[in-house]
Amino acid sequence: MNKFKKNFISTMGLFLLFTGICFVSCNQDEVPASSLELRDTLIYKKGETKPYTGHEKARIKDKIIEYDVVNGIKQGDFKLYFLNGDVQIEGRLKDNKNVGLWKYYYDTGELESKGEFENDKPKGEWTWYYPSGKIKERGNYFEGNRIGKWQDFDEAGNVTEEKDFSLQDSVSDNENFPDELNTVKKDQ
């Protein structure tokens, strides 16, 4: 009977090991590698001549990407996943450009940062977080450039650094920016 138990336990151990290996390898194969390619700024299914329209969810290197394509152009919801299925990045696309609210996550699932895009450029308030959920950094963008007061925080919530950005620091002779945004008061 003792020999029977040992054989049974050994057989079950091998069975569980084999099942686990099969589960992991089968799990990765559930999401296929991408069959799309970029040609002349448009997305095509490999081997086809007409720009692709449809939903794409595919493995690319060590990530899973998901988005919609209309006439070769990315549109709508966009998600990038870690291989374990947790979301790494989520946002929206319009005409191949980032728009609206975007969120980025740590590999542990906690929010890492969030902010808005307009025409593929960060705009408005952006906030970065520690894995604990406390604010790490906060500041504003205008047409993709840091503007105004930016603050860094420690995990206790204390300000550790403040930086002031004027658009003249990062953009010279740009008439698209209103004058009042090009001057940042250092006494704020």
Q: What is the pLDDT of residues 17-60, one digit of tens each?
A: 343 333 333 444 588 999 999 999 999 999 999 999 999 999 98
Q: How confident is the model at residue 175 (pLDDT cuts 50, 70, 90)?
A: very low
How far is residue 47's CA from residue 49's CA, in Å, rounded to a whole number? Answer: 7
Mean pLDDT, rounded, of the chain: 82
Q: What's the alpha-carbon Rg for the chain, to the nearest Å?
A: 24
| CB neighbour list of residue 32: distance below 8 Å, 6 or more residues apart | 58, 59
What are the tens digits of pLDDT across the range 54-85? 999 999 888 999 999 999 999 999 999 998 89
- pLDDT score of 9 more than 90: no
For the residues 146-153, what does the mean pLDDT come to? 96
**Residue 18: how many CB atoms within 10 A of its CB?**
10
For the residues 80-94, what does the mean pLDDT come to? 95
- The predicted pLDDT at position 169 comes to 59
What are the tens digits of pLDDT across the range 107-118? 999 999 999 999
- pLDDT score of 119 more than 90: yes
- Please report, rounded to a whole number, the percentage of residues in the chain having pLDDT higher than 90: 69
